[in-house]
Every structure is written in C-alpha cells, then in structure tokens.
Amino acid sequence: MRDHAKERHQIMLPDTLEASNRPYEECGVVGIWGAPDAAALAALGLHALQHRGQEAAGIVTHDGQKFCQHKGLGLVGDVFSGTRVMASLQGSAAIGHNRYATTGGTLLRNVQPLYADYEFGGLAVAHNGNLTNAATLRQALVKRGCLFQSTTDTEVFVHLIAISLYATVLERLVDAAKQVKGAYSVVSLSPDFLVGLRDPLGVRPLILGRVADGGWMLASETCALDIVGAEFVRNVEPGEMVIIDNDGVRSMRPFAQTSPRFCVFEYIYFARPDSILENHSVYEARKQIGVELARESGVEADVIVPVPDSGVPSAMGFAAESGIPFEMGIIRNHYVGRTFIEPTDQIRNLGVRMKHSANTPVLQGKRVVLVDDSIVRGTTSRKIVDMVRAAGASEVHMRISSPPTKHPCFYGIDTPEESQLLAATHTIEKMAEVIGVDSLAFISFDGLYRALGHEGRVAAEGRYCDACFTGDYPIELVDKDGRLVA
C-alpha cells in the first residue's frame, strides 16, 4: 500500500511530529464469514489491530444481496462510532483494514478495502504489506488502458484480476498473485466466499480463527481474535490461499514451496505483545530478547528503565537476568490525539514530551539503563536521553533489543532511506555520541535468534526476513533501481 504519487495531506498526527523516527507498520486486516453482525466483529478486530495503523480504517460487508462499505480517516473508534454507520453495514460477511500513519498520501480514495464491480460480480480486496513491483505493474496496466483511482499497491491486485483471462474468481486471484512480487497478506470478499492469501515467503502475518457462533475469522494477529472471543485455529501458511464459504474452509497452494521468511521485526516491535505469531508468544519473545541482551551487554547500573511501550517486556527480561531493579522511569501519555498546536519547529522539538515524561524520583542520581526496541534516525532517542539526564540521572546507558537498523524495508514497513538511518552512517561509538549516552549496545544477530528458540542465525537457513538489519532481501526489489519503491 505504499503511495507512489506525490500527493500530500497536511493533517499532522502526533506520531508524525517525529516522522520516521519509528518504523511504522503498513496496516492490519480482518475478515469475517458466516457471523451475525459481521461488521461489528470486524470493527472490534480492527480496534485490536489499531497499533498497526492509525491513519484510516474501512469495512466492506455483504448482506447476501449487495455490498455495503464505509471508510474514513482517523482511528477505528472515530470512523465507526455512529450507530447509523454500523447499521448501514449489514451482512454476515465482512473484510476490514487499518492503514498506517504517514505524512503523505492521506486521502480517502486510498483507504481500503477497495471494491470493484467486475463482469463476474463485485469483489472487495485489502492487503497488508508492500509489492516491490507495484510501480512496474502499474505502468504496464496504465498502458493497457486501466484507470487507477488510488495510489495504493492494492489497486494493482484489482486491475490484474480485471484483465485476467481465467474463468473463475479464484483463478483470477491466483493469476494476479503470481504476477506480483513482494510481501503481502490479502483478504478478499465476494458474494460467495472469503479468501485469505499470504505471499510465498509468509513475510506478513495472517491467522485463521473460529467465531463462537460458528463463523470464521481472518486477522493479522491473534489479539483480533481475542477481542471478539474467537478461537485460534491455525496460521495461514506461507503461499497458502484459504477459501471460506458456507461449506467450511478449504485450501489451495498456488505457489511452489520455499523456505518461509517471516518478518522478525513483528516480534521486536510491530505486533501487540499479547499476540501469538507463528506459534511464538510475542511477549515471551521480547522478554527473552531482553535476557539475551543482558547476557551480551550487561553494565553496572542502579535501575533498568524501558522506553514505553514496546521496550517494556525486553526491559523486564534484562532486569531479571541482570538482577538490577526494573522501574518505570519514563511514563507514556496514552491519550495523545491530533495535535491542537501549530506544528512549529519549537513544538516539534518538544513533541517527544507529548508522549513521554520523566519519572524524576526513579531517575535522580541513578545509573540508568534505557531499553528500547530500535534506533532509526536517532533524534527521538536523543530527546529521551536528554529528558532522562535533565531528571538527574548520573549515567545513561542504552540497550537496544534489535540489531542496528542499517537498511530500509521494502516489504511493508515505512522506514527512511539508507542515508537517513543512523546505524547506516555511523559506528556504534559515534551513535552513542549522537544520542548522548555513556554506552550503547544492540543485541547480536545470534542473540536475537537464540531468543526466538534457535541456536543462532545461519544465513543459509533464512528462517526470518531480517533485511532491515542485514541487507539480505529475500524478495526481488523490482522497482528499487528506479527509486519507485521509496
């Protein structure tokens, strides 16, 4: 869903005050089949997946006769807050989508799911991830006369389905999927079935669940099942297409089998800690990362302090392994909405304090270890360190629960270009100087893999997509040389 056009939207969200100082997940998806009030279940699922996208949300339903849809800019609770809105989304089948926060392309026409009327009937499509040949395919489709209404990758799927020469909807979906390259989890709704599809390497997550009244649910994470009381059934496998209809669930395998490369950053940062992904507890994985981090880069200190919220489990693991007390030395404000202040340079510089504040009694006079999940540009880290020092910390050490982020992601994560990544242009010692800490250390590749239950990282085995750390891109970057994937 990366936007290739130059359009810009001027509304500034709080997260974008520090644009690209955190990597942002592209989106979250849900699908419901055979459940009364499917739209309500989809909306609740999207609410649970709100961390995957705060820019916009949409739901498309089918009531047995027609499709209904509603989309809007903003959080799920705002977009679907009215009883009239929910009453208009009738039917026992639905798909929904959250879009991530960005400073560009915030336009209603880019909000998913996308719906189209084909010669065979209506079809709605939404996806999580990024197509690395979207711009190339788009150029070819435009030359064929296809008219694009949005700037999202998802519309490439829509047009590939339209021009396919295959007879059935499922065959056309497979035909489209075989032409795209990239990382994606797709949900698609027709009058006759709900489809879930993962890319051949399974970079982006998708799971299958059973709703209490006998219906079925697809979602990006298990936390979306939990909120509606659905039962986890299994992961949708890499390269698998699941088809859900009134006869149940069946599976197709349109791609040749290959070694999966699930996104390792889901465990580090993106997923909600209470989710289970690829049979791993995200919470336990993050705690174990902290344990490994303490073993590799322990330091004499008085207190272990997480950078909320994603740093909390790793800091707990670090504290348990090191024997140093864990304290909430930084408090996060969870009620930051759209900024009501003109975003001047001065206000941008204070933006970190809108989300975090120092707990001075915990920090004053202490040797502090800050545990965070990643460093991107480093500007937010610097401001947090300055805040901790201003609260009276005698020493500040930073420990990071991921290896250095040296390469941009082209598979559905919004990261800056390589030249803007601090770790790509600085040694760790220089990074420590830039962010103002007494020492800085990152978890090693082997430590990260050990935390996930492996003996270490073996490049030949793959296991995960860790290209943002290693530069080992497992899927061809078709558009990269032309800077169309940026």
Of 428, 402, 404, residue with least CA distance to 292: 402
* 287's tokens: 């705690």
Q: Identify whether the C-beta of residue 228 lies closer than 8 Å to the C-beta of residue 41.
A: yes
305 burial via Cβ count (<10 Å: 0-12, 13-18, 19+): buried
CA distances to 2, 50, 223, 312 from 475, in Å: 16, 27, 28, 32
Per the CB < 8 A criterion, the answer to whether 177 and 197 are in contact is yes
In angstroms, what is the C-alpha Rg of the chain? 22
The total of other beta-carbon atoms located within 10 Å of residue 274's CB is 13
Structural contact between residues 153 and 485, judged by C-beta atoms closer than 8 angstroms: no
Say whether 27 is catalytic.
yes
Rounded Cα gap, residues 124 and 60, in angstroms:
7
Count of CB atoms situated within 10 Å of the CB of 359: 15
Helical pair 428-435 and 379-390, crossing angle rounded to 10 deg: 50
Q: Name the burial class of residue 387, with classes exposed (0-12), middle (13-18) and buried (19+) by CB atoms within 10 angstroms of its CB.
A: middle
Tokens of 189: 């709704």
Record the tokens describing residue 1, joined without a space.
Answer: 């869903």
Question: Whose CA is closest to 376, among 25, 21, 24, 101?
Answer: 21
Phi, psi of 344 (to 5 degrees): -75, 170
Considering 27, 409, 465, 468, which one is annotated as catalytic?
27
Residue 369 to residue 440: CA distance in whole angstroms: 10
Positions marked catalytic: 27
